[in-house]
Structure 1
Amino acid sequence: MRFAGSHVLSVEQFSREDIEQIFKVADSMEPYALRKRVTRVLEGAILGNMFFEPSTRTRVSFGCAFNLLGGEVRETTGFKSSAIAKGESLYDTARVLSGYSDVICMRHPEAGSVAEFASASRVPVVNGGDGANEHPSQALLDLYTIQKEVKAKGGSMDRLRIAMIGDLKHGRTVHSLSRLLALYECLDVVLVSPGELAMPESYVENLRSAGHRVTVSSELNQSISQVDIVYSTRIQEERFSSKEEADLYRGRFRLNQAIYTKYCQPNTVIMHPLPRDSRSDANELDNDLNQNPNLAIFRQADNGVLVRMALFAMILDVVDQVDSHSRDVNWYHRRANE
């Protein structure tokens, strides 16, 4: 893939070599993310952050990543605060806002909407999630986290054993992640969900056609007993016709320390794209896991900044200039001193 000036709309754009390149650049961003150095390589550049669905981590992470490279961020959140509420088309919105920005990140509730927007944009567009379809930057940060976690334990991406759990029908994070995992070799993938929320067959077939072993299950405990990674997802309430329908599935697959100790291997890594639903009727990842060193959900969130910094640096073609526009940090920052 030629990154400079390109849209990032789907994980299908990436080869394994592309991913390795992104991760190499992400590694180089660590001093800046940890506030050990400051770079102003994107000084004067503007990110248009357009989020038409609720978001905390993705929206703030993209903005933080751009700021850490020296750029500025302008945001639109929700339909009511945009001209779309007045009937403006995605085409017109794209033509106008791409004149105000150097790169745009967009989240929208309809599948395919970000690609439609990008077709009219005059600047690169990054898909921040389009309905139940894709979330490419989340899949990249998930894969980056998996690689770091298993490597720290002496493992590798090839021959990885992973269980994906929860709402696999509507979960765009697992859709995109499964596509990236298909690029590796000899994986053992367990898909755990209620039958009604099973992973769409196209994603299952993509993994199998790549030579991976895929097991479909509706039973949690045995499914997590022989894996390196447990990747849990929440019930995607916003994709259901009503809260009552979503409630039929909420809390089906709960993981706590007692279940982890009984069924998981000692080094099994726990991941979740966040937010985890901690309400009592869901409680998909119990708070008693917070002190478990294999709970990687917050490392996962931190890694999102590194990966998104890498994407911006590559899309705006400044990777080789980052260090030359840097200086020491002149304020105290706890993470830089850890």
Structure 2
Amino acid sequence: MLAVNVAVFAGVFLHKITLPPYVPYIHLLVDYHFGFTKRALIGAIVSLFSSRVPVWLVFALGGATWLITLGLFVQLFRRTFGLDDEHMPLLIFTAGSPFFFKNFMHTLGHFDIYGCSLAVCLLLLPARSIAFVLLAALFSVILVLIHHIHLLMYVPTIVVIVVLRHYLVQGANRLNLSGGVAAAAAVGALFVAAQFYGSMPVPEAQFVNYLQSRMADPSRSNLLSFSYIWYQPLAKELRDTWMRMPSNLLGIPMFALLIFLHAPLWKYFAGLIRSLAVDWHRRVVISALTAVSLGYFVMFVIVFDYSRWISNWAVCMFLIMHAVKTLPASQTVPPISGDDRKTTVLGWVVTLIPRVGIVRPF
């Protein structure tokens, strides 16, 4: 199954590089030339190294980020569970899931994977001091500057990781509580600024002309067709989403089926939660999972990239599972059985699904 997953990764990548990178490419062009701007951090960093941006940079930068994130996750899995034979089924249902690295490959160049990568870093780093809380706040700030929707996509998961790995273990005191509240307020204020004050202050034609001046090949003006998203108010996004809602809701049965295919994983995760030695920890974990899921529900209402939201929700569940595993347990939870026929069938189905998609399933 691991070998097949590697082949699928390669196949999805070869398919991806044949597609026009409309949204990912324009994100590399937008910077802070016209002042504070939403979705501009990646482009601003790129502008420090190059005044002209080639299209291939989307795939080079996205591919490098994908490889780094994969390496970090494998290291995290090795440290949390181990890369022995008995935990291989769990690795198949996480790293090999169509929700995870295969879909990140399909959305290569999009900003989702940055949230996952920084969350994995927080799971790998020690969480003993207030520095961990402040680092999580810094990561959250970076994510909101990359794209403000991260406030609902990965920032809640980062908050959960901080709560489970720092506050539940180290306890709450005046220093770390005040630091956490201040950090949350700062991230919230930045989100408000990006959402309501980060629109482009110049006419769209002037904005497009500037973007075209940064293109390595200005003749490919079709890649700038998504420039309107820097002018689109929240009300317009809501209207567009609800206009598409009837057709997009048709994908819900498929999403439900994809989630069901991971049944052995969910059963194992539930066992980890039940095995927690402290009842208070169990209630906190359940509340945290609910809060993260509610954040994704809000995204469903606002923006219609449903396949991406479902996929990233699943990734957040996978990452939170690693944090839960580090909490004190009253009993050992048996790993997913590799000898069970049903589990094997589900594992092969999960392995063979190449990705979930961006808006609609597949």
Confirm or deny a common fold (TM above 0.5). Answer: no
Structure with greater strand share of residues: 1
Say which one has the larger Rg: 2
TM-score by length of 1: 0.30
